Amino acid sequence: MSASTVPAGSSVSPEIVSSIFYGVTVSDTLALLVAEMVGGTPRITWGNEGAVRLLGYAAEDLGALPVSTLVPTLRGGEVKLLLRRERAARMRLSVRTASGAFVESVVLSTPSPTGRMWTLRVVPAASEQERALRATADAHEQRFATLTERSPIPTLLSEQGMRLAHVNDAFCSLVGLRSEQLLGTGWMSVVHPEDLDAVIEQVVVVLGGGDGEARARLVRADGSERMTVIRFAHLFTPGVGAGFVGTIEDITQRLAFEARLAHQANHDPLTGLPNRTLLAQYVSARFRPGGSGLACLFLDLDNFKVVNDSLGHGAGDELLVEVAARLRATVRPGDLVARFGGDEFVVVCEGVGEAEAITLAERIGAALAVPVRLGGVDVRPRASVGVTAQTAEHAAAEELIRDCDIAMYQAKTGGKGRITVLDQQARAEAREKLLLVAELRDAIERREITLLYQPIFSATDGTATAVESLARWHHAGRGAISPGTFVGLAEESGLIGGLGLLVLDETCRQLADWDRTLGVAAPRRANVNVSALQLDANLLPQVIAALDRHGLSPSRLSIEITESALMKDPASAREVLAGLRALGVQLAIDDFGTGYSSLAYLRHLPVDCLKVDRTFVAELADGHTEIASAVIALARSLGLTTVAEGVETAAQATELAQLGAGFLQGYSLAPPMTGPDTAAWFAAR
């Protein structure tokens, strides 16, 4: 403070000056006062210009003002708290100005070394800027509070450990309690006791600065439970410590929905029984290789198709539901009853041997045999049952089910309504078959199935006009495998599509090859056999693609279909054949006369040729010409040509020509040959 700031005319004692210099670094902007004890009362004895400006007193009025008038909130002896003899003091006080208004201030008092005089520095506490900042912070907090309060998401806020400082309405209504009951650690009692540890674990992580979530059941006031996911976020308040914000998602309904979906995925909707998927899981979970005690019963209802066809699908469903109920009621508690598919059921038992499993199968048979009334008719359900008890030879769970499936088929073929235990012989055969299927699949993929071609001759002039493609499989270890075996196997195991395509494509390729090497001497047509299972909408595009690939006209191909294949689904067969016929491909019915074809259907089928079966040809040698001649006559009257198969002798050939057969085929005329041999054979003629 410079001398010019001292009010004019006032005398300032050296003590005052020294006390000021002792106490503070002086500036004009500061409000400074000096207080001293006057007659036992502390009074202001001096003030600077800053003090005059702040307090509104004239400099002369300041002198002798009791300190208690300036800071009236210090009552009684409390002025002493500010005016300490030994040390400086700092107090936040309301300082009264001349107008009577109060200024919130921090007052710092410093005693002089004598202890009789104090320097007081008055610093107004909250500047406008501070107040504005504070107001903004309050507004932010208010907005945040409003946001969470009205938020539909249940929200918790902790500022200390597990202690909640705030819960919103959504959380209160989720658990059915008032906020007062939940604040502090009250909310911990709504967390299911078994889940509380996990929640605290997550809180520990979150208080340490991480994020976390916990799945916890919350127990509502009414005792019901909600499954929730609590997501925690770290919350740090400077100078206070760490807490968390928790938001809660009620996943009870979602879980219930998922559980329903999971149940639907694993159960049959009609009977409510576990389905094949669950059965597989169930058996896998209990199967120990090399162990024993697990047994499976495979049931197939006999004549279920008859019920469905005669009484309708509604009655069929009713029967399945009734059978399911009887099975459940008959098995031991803990046994699994599953619907394997269609009219097939599987029962799995634990801790039983073969004998007990057979006893159970008999009990089931007896329970099923009680008549059930369907559509006004009493039906006596019967089932063929295959039984398998686990042995050391079962290496995997699927083998157990597969074995009892095989046993059931044996029961079925042995006459319905039987119980069959899979014997070792059947087991070995089944394994053999499985192995062969795998090898057949490989053979098809590697095109190891080869084709032989047998020439077909005109009965009138003996010229060879066509060939029939015949598939052959020469197995590296087993030698030649008969087409009857491997075609049947392919049909059973879903490989027939691949096999058929191979034959079709290879035949077309060979025809094109012959065209190139033999020119006009090449066979005019190749006959390709098609299985009943290939007779669908895919066949036409496959034929078109094969012809295109090898640049052949449709007339070079004849498709042979067995009579029985045509009769499986005559309507759709007719449609497929019509498409092929329209394309220009010839169609022949193979083995005609061996099946039970309806002649009426035959008239409507778009075919060109009937193949007379070799058995009727063979009968000619015994003087029985009736069937062969009838077939040939029938073909002629329908405008169809005929090919007689299995012609073994010249006499047969002559007789067939006399009967009017169009074409002949047989080992004696020409055996099946490889592609190159066939080329050589045609070239030689």
Partner 1 sequence: MPPMLTAAPSFDVEKVLASIDTMAAQKPVAAQIVSVANSDDTSARELAQILGSDVALAGRVMKLANSAYFGMRGRVTSLQFAVTVVGFTTVRTMATVALTDLDDESRLPANFWRVSTSVGLAASTLAPRFGERPQDALCLGLLAPLGIALLHHDDPEGYAALTATERTTAARRAAEVRRYGIHALRLTAVALEQWGFPRSMVAPLTGVDDLGAEESALLRGALEVAARLATDDEPVPVERLTCGLLREDALPPVIDKVRAEAEELRLAMLGQ
Check binding of 313 to partner 1 (CB under 8 A): no
In the bound state with partner 1, the residue whose beta carbon lies nearer, of 73 and 277, is: 73
User: Could you say which residues in the range 392-451 bind partner 1, by CB under 8 A?
Assistant: none
Angle between helices 252-266 and 276-286 (to 10 degrees): 90
Structure tokens at 5: 């700031």
Per rule CB under 8 A, is residue 40 in the interface with partner 1? no
Is residue 229 part of the contact set for partner 1 (CB under 8 A)?
Answer: no
Q: Is 625 in the site for partner 1 (CB under 8 A)?
A: no
- How near is the Cβ of 108 to partner 1 at its closest, in Å? 12
Q: Which of 60, 180, 350, 398 binds partner 1 (CB under 8 A)?
A: 180
Residue 130 found at the interface with partner 1 (CB under 8 A): no
Told to check if 177 binds partner 1 by CB under 8 A, we report no
Q: Identify the burial level of 351 via C-beta atoms within 10 angstroms of its C-beta, where 0-12 means exposed, 13-18 middle and 19 or more buried.
A: exposed
Interstrand relation of 383-389 and 419-421 (parallel, antiparallel or unpaired):
parallel
Given 184, 595, 646, 672, the residue binding partner 1 (CB under 8 A): 184
Of residues 232, 180, 226, 229, the one with CA closest to residue 209: 232
The reply on whether position 147 binds partner 1 by CB under 8 A is no
Kindly tell me which residue out of 33, 55, 207, 504 binds partner 1, with binding defined by CB under 8 A.
207
Binding part of the chain for partner 1, among 178-186, 351-359, 424-432, 561-569 by CB under 8 A, reads: 178-186
- What type of residue sits at position 212? G
Element (H, E) at 381: none
Of 588, 627, 594, the C-alpha closest to 611 is 588
Which residues neighbour 180 within 8 Å (Cβ) at sequence distance 6 or greater? 186
- The site for partner 1, by CB under 8 A, has a size of 40
Q: At what angle do helices 397-413 and 424-445 cross, to 10 degrees?
A: 110
Q: Is the dihedral of CA 381, 383, 389, 395 positive or negative?
A: negative
Distance CA 430, CA 408 (A): 13
Residue selected from 162, 294, 408, 573 as contacting partner 1 according to rule CB under 8 A: 162
Identity of the residue, 42 or 417, whose beta carbon is nearer to partner 1 in the bound complex: 42
Choose between 13 and 185: whose C-beta lies nearer to partner 1. Answer: 185
| Strand partners for 91 | 107
In the bound state with partner 1, the residue whose beta carbon lies nearer, of 137 and 370, is 137
Which of 296, 414, 301, 403 is closest to 356 using CA atoms?
296
Q: What would the two tokens of residue 656 be?
A: 């067939």
Task: Decide if residue 161 touches partner 1 (CB under 8 A).
Answer: yes
The verdict on 233 binding partner 1 (CB under 8 A) reads no
Closest C-alpha to 676, from 535, 533, 531, 518: 518
Residue 36 or 403: the one with the smaller Cβ distance to partner 1 is 36
By CB under 8 A, tell whether 124 contacts partner 1. no
Task: Say whether residue 159 binds partner 1 (CB under 8 A).
Answer: yes
Q: What angle do CA 133, 139, 143 make, to 5 degrees?
A: 150
Which residues have CB under 8 Å from 494's CB, separation 6+? none
**Shortest spacing between CB 159 and partner 1, in angstroms:** 6
**Which residue intervals of 243-312 are DSSP H helices?**
252-266, 276-286, 304-311
- Nearer CB in complex with partner 1: 89/245: 89
The CB-of-188 to partner 1 minimum distance in angstroms stands at: 5
CB 191, min distance to partner 1, A: 10
585 forms part of the interface with partner 1 (CB under 8 A): no
Phi/psi of residue 392, nearest 5 degrees: -65, -20
Q: Which listed range, 18-26, 75-83, 412-420, 498-506, lies at the site for partner 1 (CB under 8 A)?
A: 75-83
Residue 90 interacts with partner 1 (CB under 8 A): yes or no:
yes
Q: Which stretch binds partner 1 (CB under 8 A): 233-241, 396-404, 525-533, 561-569?
A: 233-241
86 interacts with partner 1 by CB under 8 A: yes
Q: Smaller CB distance to partner 1: residue 106 or 657?
A: 106
**Least gap, CB of 230 to partner 1 (angstroms):** 14
The distance between the two most distant Cα atoms of the chain, rounded to a whole number of Å, is 165
CB closer to partner 1, 123 vs 188: 188
Measure the CA–CA gap between 147 and 130, rounded to whole angstroms: 25
Q: Kindly state whether residue 84 participates in binding partner 1, applying the rule CB under 8 A.
A: yes
Site for partner 1 in 318-347 (CB under 8 A): none
Cβ of residue 337: shortest distance to partner 1, in angstroms?
Answer: 46
Closer to partner 1 by Cβ: residue 100 or 269: 100
Give the closest residue to 216 by CA, choosing from 192, 189, 242, 249. 192
Residues 472, 473, 474, 479: what is their CA dihedral angle, to the nearest 10 degrees?
-110
CB of 114 to partner 1, least distance (A): 16
Q: Tell me whether residue 207 or residue 502 sits nearer to partner 1 (CB atom).
A: 207
The Cα angle at residue 126 between residues 121 and 128, in degrees rounded to 5: 125
Contact 417, 365 (CB under 8 A): yes
How would you class 10 by CB atoms within 10 Å of its CB: exposed for 0-12, middle for 13-18, buried for 19 or more? exposed
Q: Figure out which of the listed residues 81, 370, 428, 582 binds partner 1, where binding follows CB under 8 A.
A: 81
Q: Which of 39, 76, 269, 484 binds partner 1 (CB under 8 A)?
A: 76
Are the C-beta atoms of residues 373 and 380 closer than 8 Å to each other? no
CB distance 243 to 159 below 8 Å: yes
Closer residue to partner 1 (CB): 165 or 396: 165
Q: Minimum Å distance from CB 198 to partner 1?
A: 12
Residues 239-268 vs partner 1: string with x where CB under 8 A? xxxx--------------------------
d(CA 521, CA 418): 61
User: Which residue(s) pair with 504 in the sheet?
Assistant: none
Cβ–Cβ < 8 Å for 559, 530: yes
With DSSP H G I counted as helix, E B as strand and the rest as coil, what are the percentages for the chain, rounded to 5?
45, 25, 25
Q: Which of 188, 325, 521, 630 binds partner 1 (CB under 8 A)?
A: 188
**Among positions 9, 77, 334, 639, the unique one binding partner 1 when judged by CB under 8 A:** 77
Q: Does 685 sit near partner 1 (CB under 8 A)?
A: no
Q: Are 496 and 533 in contact (CB under 8 A)?
A: yes
Q: Classify residue 619 by its DSSP letter.
A: G
179 binds partner 1 (CB under 8 A): yes
Residue keyed to tokens 């055969």: 429
Tell me the window of 35-43, 195-203, 382-390, 511-519 that interacts with partner 1 (CB under 8 A). Answer: 195-203
By the rule CB under 8 A, 165 interacts with partner 1: yes
Q: Which residues bind partner 1 (CB under 8 A)?
A: 73, 75-78, 80-81, 84-87, 89-92, 159-163, 165-166, 179-180, 183-185, 188, 197, 200-201, 203-204, 207-208, 238-242
